[in-house]
């Protein structure tokens, strides 16, 4: 008797030689089922705790999300070592003021400086091109100082007036101004940009085609920079209104591209 036969004989169960020898039986349904919560039910109970509502009758039902109660919001700080630091001021820990998406711009002067610096670089490039085209000698030092001491301060004042002082962007988030007045101010600003872009573009075309070389070297960099600034402020769709006008002016007067 080999080992397999001795094992079968010792177990007292018939030998299973094929799949037909496996006994089939139904599972035991008399055993009580354990009541376990699903992840959805646990999440619903947690949401009910945060919103202060009862979780009874919410299992298996999808309800609309409710806002979280302000007293359940805790604001903390994370230190350099990754540990959570509780603030000393209790009014900061439990704050009912949530950040608003449409907050006014708090750094109009910084934005004006960044945009003015970019426009000054354009002014420097245009002046280098005009001087290289018409002047006998190209000297970078006078061009650099004119850009730094004249163009940059002037552009900073113009941009800051339109963005932070004269026509501020914060008017979009001011609740004390009616929507009609707000829309009127923004429309007026866009109209000013369109007028400046068209006038500067048409004058730049006439200047470079009809005026002398001295007038081109003196005025073309400044006018070109103002035109670029107005087109940038108009945005992608509004920029078409600042480009179509000079294009029609050039076509009407017979100015060629080359």
Query: Reduced to 3 states, what is the DSSP secondary structure of residue 35?
Result: coil
**Per-residue model confidence (pLDDT) at position 233:** 87
0.75 surpassed by pTM: no
Residue with tokens 């078409």: 240
Nearest to 222 by CA among 132, 130, 102: 130
Residue range 209-219: mean pLDDT, rounded: 83
83 compared with 153, residue with greater pLDDT:
153
Percent pLDDT > 90 in the chain is 10
As a whole number of angstroms, the distance between CA 130 and CA 221 comes to 8
Q: Is the pLDDT of residue 97 over 50?
A: no
In angstroms, what CA-CA distances link 129 with 140, 190, 223, 232, 238? 11, 30, 14, 21, 28
For the segment 123-155, what is each residue's pLDDT rounded down to a tens digit? Answer: 999 999 988 888 778 888 888 999 899 989 999
> How many Å separate Cα 20 from the centre of its chain?
68
151: left (phi over 0), alpha (psi -120 to 50) or beta: alpha
Nearest to 202 by CA among 239, 166, 249, 252: 249
52: left (phi over 0), alpha (psi -120 to 50) or beta: left
Q: Is the pLDDT of residue 87 over 80?
A: no
Backbone angles phi and psi of 176, in degrees to 5 = -80, -15
As a whole number of angstroms, the distance between CA 52 and CA 99 comes to 22
**Per-residue model confidence (pLDDT) at position 226:** 92
Q: Please state at what angle helix 213-252 crosses helix 179-210, rounded to 10 degrees.
A: 110
Beta-bridge mates of residue 85:
77
Contact 228, 243 (CB under 8 A): no
Q: Is the pLDDT of residue 1 over 60?
A: no
Contact 126, 224 (CB under 8 A): yes
Residue range 151-177: mean pLDDT, rounded: 69
Q: Is the pLDDT of residue 175 over 50?
A: yes
Tokens of 35: 């009541």
Nearest to 226 by CA among 255, 258, 203, 256: 203
Tokens of 22: 């496996």
Contact 134, 213 (CB under 8 A): yes
């Amino acid at each position: 008797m080999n080992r397999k036969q001795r094992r079968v004989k010792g177990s007292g169960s018939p030998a299973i030689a094929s799949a037909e020898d496996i006994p089939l039986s139904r599972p035991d349904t008399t055993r009580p089922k354990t009541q376990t919560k699903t992840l959805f039910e646990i999440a619903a109970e947690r949401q009910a705790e945060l919103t202060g509502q009862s979780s009874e009758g919410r299992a298996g039902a999808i309800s609309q999300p409710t806002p979280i109660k302000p007293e359940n919001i805790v604001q903390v700080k994370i230190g350099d070592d990754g540990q959570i630091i509780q603030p000393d001021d209790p009014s900061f820990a439990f704050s009912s003021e949530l950040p608003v998406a449409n907050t006014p711009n708090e750094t109009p002067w910084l934005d004006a400086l960044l945009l003015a610096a970019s426009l000054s670089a354009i002014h420097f490039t245009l002046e280098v091109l005009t001087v290289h085209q018409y002047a006998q000698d190209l000297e970078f030092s006078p061009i650099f100082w004119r850009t730094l001491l004249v163009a940059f301060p002037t552009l900073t004042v113009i941009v800051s007036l339109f963005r932070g002082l004269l026509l501020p962007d914060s008017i979009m988030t001011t609740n004390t101004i009616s929507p009609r007045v707000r829309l009127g101010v923004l429309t007026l600003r866009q109209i000013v940009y369109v007028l400046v872009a068209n006038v500067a573009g048409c004058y730049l075309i006439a200047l470079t085609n009809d005026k002398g070389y001295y007038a081109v070297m003196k005025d073309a960099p400044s006018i070109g920079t103002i035109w670029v600034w107005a087109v940038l402020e108009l945005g992608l769709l509004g920029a078409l209104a600042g480009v179509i006008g000079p294009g029609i002016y050039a076509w009407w007067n017979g100015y060629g591209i080359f």
